[in-house]
Amino acid sequence: MNTRREVTVGIGGAAGDGLDKTGDTIAKTCSRLGLYLNAYNSYQSVIRGGHIWLRVRISEQKIYSHGDHLNVLIALNQDAIERHAREVASGGAIIYNSDKLKVDPVLIGDNVLTAPMPVAELIKPMGKLPAIMQNTVSMGAMLYLLNLEFEMAAEVLADTFKHKGDAVVEQNVNIARAGYDYAKEKFVPLGYEWDFTRVRRPFVTGNECFAIGAVAAGCKFYSAYPMTPASSILHWMANHGAKCGVLVKQCEDELSVVNMAIGAGHAGVRAMCGTSGGGFALMTEAIGMAGMIEAPVVVIAVQRGGPSTGIPTKTEQADLNQVYGASQGDYPRVIIAPTDTTDCYFTAVEAHNLADKYQLPVTIISDLLLSEHPETVEADAFHHDVPIERGEIISEWPDGEKGQFKRYAFTRSGISPRALPGTAGGMYVAATDEHDEEGVVISDVFTAPPVRRKIQEKRMRKMEAVLGELQPPQLEGPADAELTLVGWGSTKGVIHEAITMLAEQGISANHLQIKYLHPFHTKEVSEILGKCKRTICVEVNFTGQFARHLRAETGYSVNDLVLKYDGEPFEPHHIVEEVRAIIEGKPRSTDVSLDEAREIAYHYIRVHLADKVRPANLEQVDGDDERMWLVELAGRESGEKEGELRIGVETGSVYSWEPKKVLSAGAGSD
Amino acid sequence: MAAVIELPISTYESVVDPDWCPGCGDFGVLRALEIAAGKLGIQPKDLMVVSGIGCSSNLPGFIHTYGVHSLHGRAVAVASGIKLANHGLKVVITGGDGDGYGIGIGHFIHAMRRNLDLTYIVMNNQIYGLTTGQASPTTMKEMRTKSTPQGNLESPINPVALALVSGATYVSRGYSGENKHLADLIAGAIEHHGFSLVDVFSPCVTYNKVNTYEFFRKRVYKLEGEDGYDTANGEVALQRSFEWGDRIPIGVFYRDVQPTYDDSEPALHNGPLVQQQMGMSKELFDELMEEFM
Ligand SMILES: Cc1ncc(C[n+]2csc(CCOP(=O)(O)OP(=O)(O)O)c2C)c(N)n1
Ligand code: SF4
Ligand SMILES: [Mg+2]
């Protein structure tokens, strides 16, 4: 076998199984060895019980997504085996606690090592220990199977547990060692070879980057109301606020969140707030206020699956219309969609600078994938001494001599110098009603159409200068490619990898990723797209919101769409398969695939059949209204047929559950 | 403490004349605020007046200080942000009953619970003035308004009682027709360290034909004039807050000194946020990055 230099490890279990800690230890170990990582946690519930599925892709090379594969499964409960064992690729392994769990051979593919760990026996010498220690045993075995360095893991465990004392550190290291040694005795390693550079790189999430980038930029005020997947910004800020000089305010609702941030921004402090789609909906009126009173504020909108409360712990890019359409009226604002984890750091910096210089609201639109998945970034990716550009602020105003301060002076640039509250002589009122240069309201008793026209033009003029400052997007890859994949925000990495895979299959594609959504580089983007042969817009939503926005800004319609809206992020192969189908002229099928039929069956089994059976054989048969997936259900213990489920191929509806008693004798558990 | 140098009310005179209807109660509130600020010697640059939307919320435009005329219902939140960013400013919120007790009631309650050092003056005319006379959260039951032609079906909010149970540390009620008394209440509220409410009967002469000057003149009496009224006694204050009918009390119902949010917030211990150093040292940056390795 060739030496292998990239692996994806999946850890599956219930919330509360301590899976995050194990994942963290694995990640830190590999990262400190100088490997690159990209992880994704498809969690379902933040509380105890829900299925958690963490995948960590580890490579010697820089990687851009969590990839397509699964090589090693660490199963912490039976459900993880049920759901993921069959995904393990040939040459991989399944590590599990054999005291509690079983791997039914029907669930695994060819050439997959099953690595049962007799956890109780292994840890018996170390005294009575909590159940969570099965994770550490399995991790030890994994280190051996993947030819990773045990000492580094021991160092990470020592750092993790040092606050609990030497005894705890030693215990954890010993337990990991027991797993490692047992694997060494029983199994053959999977054939991985690594070149450990030991370059230390941060392993961070986008949300952490937003927070630290903002602090570096001088943000002093962060307000939020808890909402997944933005909450980790709040948590980071709350934990580090005192050290970093940031006032962190959890508010009563998002109305308060954004209005407080705007108040703080108006008073001269760099202020930021974060939320997801539902909270952003409540913020919109105030974002328009910030545009009107020309107050700087940065709002981070982290998208999750919608509509409505939607799928809180799943990803999507379907809030673009909302962010773009936020608030009544025309007002100056900036919308930025950072394209990768490193970019989150610098986007936070840039957002604060733009907000201050141009005195307007800046919305950063992210999504669950970008905000929450951790990855290694380059060692020198970030630096502390970022530019802090505050724009024009006066230090005093000789009231008597120059007359009333013109807060909204009709300047050529559109930028009117600010007087921060407290500045001698600069008193004025910042009104959400339309006003003149001095801030005097012209909305009601004294209306003045030309003044209104001029102030509206003044405010909007700022957008020209903003656009001039933003880096136009660039086409990456061969200029004469047959295809151009267009994406926005977080999909940059996965599109990049899909393009590499397409090239391997003889399909040449290039890539246009858009970061600045508003103001929009209409001229540059039109020029680029005008030269493209065939364009496909890749988006994580149902309607192709960006493609529509692109059409509005440029008049250009993309040729095709690749869309995903099942809550899971794109993996490179999804894009490759759809692109190939498009080239081959096959319309995208929304039929339920075999894998999906199995997932639907698992869902049904969990809800109605208490996880007692599993889908065994699946085949398509004719039905009354539509074709059906006929799913045979087998007992998880007995392996015997317990009943059948019919799932519509077209609609995905679960038509019928036929308990065994109908088919033969005995009772189902529905 | 440095001696207070009182300022004339002309200090706060705006270039803009109020556009309220002649006789509107809000004139008296504006005047009382100017008197109070002058008496406390607050420089216009150090006073921040924040409002929402409504006739009453137009007030910041009519006083020469810093001001924000924010959104309907959001004045308290905006003011909270300003105060936390620069607690060196005196922050006074001015608004209406619809603004504060209707659409913005959430912020009102939570600001009291936080005991932020803010002064909140509500020009309570028991009607929506600016939108031409619909029922408000303090409109009396059965009153006919544009939106309740058959009579209002809902009971009014009792702002004083609400403030008392929500943690406000200075709870008072004034009457726009008693200007000097009102100025004293406002001065007391601004001086008070903590959240202070001044609920003001401020008649809308155009749309509220029930709760008129005549109505209040006959009914209001001052708690201060009463022997032995103890503003430290919350229970009695709560009892008195329910007095409504032939006699309606005005004055300070309750006053207490508690740590304010701004006192307790560690980020403010080194002075106002707006004056603090921006950016990050290399040492701090390295320390933060180390957590990710
Ligand atoms: C979100 C929103 N909803 C409604 C309005 C319309 N509106 C403006 S003022 C007002 C009511 C004002 O009543 P109040 O606060 O009591 O002030 P008053 O005019 O009586 O002084 C309403 C409903 C608005 N500006 N914004
Ligand atoms: S409508 Fe009523 S509240 Fe508004 S200005 Fe006239 S009198 Fe005052
Ligand atoms: Mg009113």
Secondary structure in 3-state letters for A214-277: HHHCCEEEEEECCCCCCHHHHHHHHHHHHHHCCEEEECCCHHHHHHHHHHHHHCCCEEEEEECH
Check pLDDT > 60 for residue B251.
yes
- Contact A421/B288, CB-based, under 8 Å? no
Report whether residue B29 contacts ligand 1, using a CB cutoff of 6 Å: no
Give the domain CATH number at A639: 3.10.450
Residue A469 lies in a domain: no
Q: What is the DSSP letter of B66?
A: E
Same domain, A297 and A336: yes
Report the Cα A83 to chain-centroid distance in Å: 22
Distance, in Å, from the CA atom of A541 to the CA atom of B60, rounded to the nearest integer, reads 45
What confidence score (pLDDT) does residue A587 get?
79
Same domain, A293 and A162: no
Summarised one tens digit per residue, pLDDT across range A288-326 is 999 999 999 999 999 999 999 999 999 999 999 999 999
Distance, in Å, from the CA atom of A365 to the CA atom of A375, rounded to the nearest integer, reads 19
What confidence score (pLDDT) does residue A513 get?
98
A393-415 as b/e, with b when 16 or more CB fall inside 10 Å? eeeebebeeeebbbbbebeeebb
- Contact B279/A384, CB-based, under 8 Å? yes
What confidence score (pLDDT) does residue A129 get?
81
**Average pLDDT of every residue of chain B:** 97
Q: Is the bond preceding A229 in cis, omega lying within 30 degrees of 0?
A: yes
Residue A110 lies in a domain: yes
Pick the closest to residue A227 from A297, A261, A277, A272 (CA basis): A277
Pick the closest to residue B208 from B290, B123, B276, B275 (CA basis): B123
Report whether residue B125 contacts ligand 2, using a CB cutoff of 6 Å: yes
Same domain, A334 and A404: no
Same domain, A19 and A159: yes
What confidence score (pLDDT) does residue A668 get?
39
Residue among B13, B58, B74 with most chain A CBs within 10 A, to mutate: B74
Distance, in Å, from the CA atom of A198 to the CA atom of A195, rounded to the nearest integer, reads 9
What confidence score (pLDDT) does residue A45 get?
54
Q: Give the mean model confidence (pLDDT) for residues A277-296.
A: 98
- The whole-model pTM stands at 0.97
Same domain, A413 and A336: no
Least confident span in A332-346, A512-526, A598-612: A598-612
- The share of chain A scoring above pLDDT 90, in percent, equals 88
Give the domain CATH number at A501: 3.40.50.920
pLDDT band at residue A670 under the 50/70/90 scheme = very low
Same domain, A310 and A222: yes
Chain A contact set for B281 (CB, 8 A): 384
Residue that is last in its domain, among A557, A583, A609: A583
Check pLDDT > 60 for residue B232.
yes
Nearest chain B residue to A444 by CA: give it. B19
Same domain, A251 and A169: no
Same domain, A480 and A620: no
Of B77, B88, B280, the CB nearest to A255: B77
Summarised one tens digit per residue, pLDDT across range B6-40 is 999 999 999 999 999 999 999 999 999 999 999 99
Q: Is the bond preceding A307 in cis, omega lying within 30 degrees of 0?
A: yes
pLDDT band at residue B1 under the 50/70/90 scheme = low
Same domain, A158 and A292: no
What confidence score (pLDDT) does residue A1 get?
40
Q: Give the mean model confidence (pLDDT) for residues A544-571.
A: 97
What confidence score (pLDDT) does residue B233 get?
97
More confident position, A16 or A40:
A40
A300: containing domain = 203-376
Q: Which residue has the tokens 């695994």?
A: A108
Same domain, A236 and A262: yes
Indicate the fold that domain B19-268 takes in CATH: Rossmann fold (3.40.50)
Pick the closest to residue A518 from A547, A557, A553, A548 (CA basis): A553
Neighbours of A370 (CB within 10 A): 31
Report whether residue B54 contacts ligand 1, using a CB cutoff of 6 Å: yes
CB-side exposure of A244: number of CA atoms within 13 Å? 28
What confidence score (pLDDT) does residue A556 get?
98
What confidence score (pLDDT) does residue B225 get?
85
Same domain, A25 and A172: yes
Q: Which residues contact A104 (CB under 8 A, 6 or more apart)?
A: A81, A636, A639
The rounded Å distance from CA B211 to ligand 3 centre is: 12
Residue A489 lies in a domain: yes
Check pLDDT > 90 for residue A663.
no
Q: Domains of chain B: which residue ranges?
A: 19-268
Pick the closest to residue A495 from A480, A481, A476 (CA basis): A476
Q: Give the mean model confidence (pLDDT) for residues A552-559.
A: 98
Nearest chain B residue to A223 by CA: give it. B81
Residue A436 lies in a domain: yes
Same domain, A460 and A548: no
Residue A415 lies in a domain: yes
What confidence score (pLDDT) does residue A446 get?
74
The rounded Å distance from CA A189 to ligand 3 centre is: 77
Summarised one tens digit per residue, pLDDT across range A630-654 is 999 999 888 899 999 999 999 999 9
B55 CA: distance to closest CA in chain A (Å): 11
- Enumerate the β-bridge partners of residue A121: none
Residue A363 lies in a domain: yes
Q: Give the mean model confidence (pLDDT) for residues A563-583.
A: 97
pLDDT band at residue A664 under the 50/70/90 scheme = very low
Summarised one tens digit per residue, pLDDT across range A138-197 is 999 999 999 999 999 999 999 999 999 999 999 999 999 999 999 999 999 999 999 999
The rounded Å distance from CA B27 to ligand 2 centre is: 10
Least confident span in A611-615, B138-142, B155-159: A611-615
The rounded Å distance from CA B133 to ligand 1 centre is: 10
- Enumerate the β-bridge partners of residue B222: B250
A223 CA: distance to closest CA in chain B (Å): 9
> In total, how many domains does chain A have?
5
Q: Which residue has the tokens 């339920």?
A: A592
